[in-house]
Amino acid sequence: MAGGRTDDRRAGAGAAGRHGAAGAALPTHRTRGLWGFPGGRLEAGRDAGRAAARELLEETGVVAEFSRALDVFDMIRRDASGDLAFHYVLVAMQGIWRDGEPKASSELLDVAWMNLRMIARVPSSTETIRLSKLLFAAAPG
């Protein structure tokens, strides 16, 4: 691939957590303006459940337990010339709420509990919509 970065594949963990009927905690990031699940880089030697819990806590102040993968998928983006901009292999972890009410960190515009109908009405990525459907169809925890 001419001009592209072939060594830029990274692993990440996403926090898809539910709080009963209240829904899922979805923040909107300042840089992207889209609603989506918290997530971040999965560092070598750290498990995806702990990474998801850390990201959720840092971004929203919500404590949750993450015990199983909801989905694993590639997020590949290319720039205007078709070269690879980034490639993430993401592990979306399914979790359940333990404590706290969502409050936006400094990197977020807002955060809220949302049910599936609300998520479908706000600006978000196709990955967020797809993961939301999986999350609400899955058994809790």
pLDDT tier for residue 22 given thresholds of 50, 70 and 90: low
Protein fold of 9-137: Nucleoside Triphosphate Pyrophosphohydrolase (3.90.79)
Helices and strands (DSSP H and E) totals, the chain:
3, 6
Q: Which of 15-24, 35-44, 72-81 has the lowest mean pLDDT?
A: 15-24
Q: DSSP for 44-89, please give it.
A: TT--HHHHHHHHHHHHH--EEEEEEEEEEEEEEEE-TTS-EEEEEE
Helix (H, G, I), strand (E, B) or coil at 91: strand
pLDDT recorded at residue 5: 47
pLDDT tier for residue 98 given thresholds of 50, 70 and 90: very high
What tokens does 16 get? 């898809």
Domain spans of the chain, in order of start:
9-137
Asked whether the CA dihedral 82, 88, 94, 97 is positive or negative, the reply is negative
pLDDT recorded at residue 38: 87
CA distance 34 to 26: 10
Nearest to 69 by CA among 115, 29, 11, 108: 11
What are 54-94's pLDDT values in tens digits?
999 998 899 999 988 989 988 888 999 999 988 888 888 99
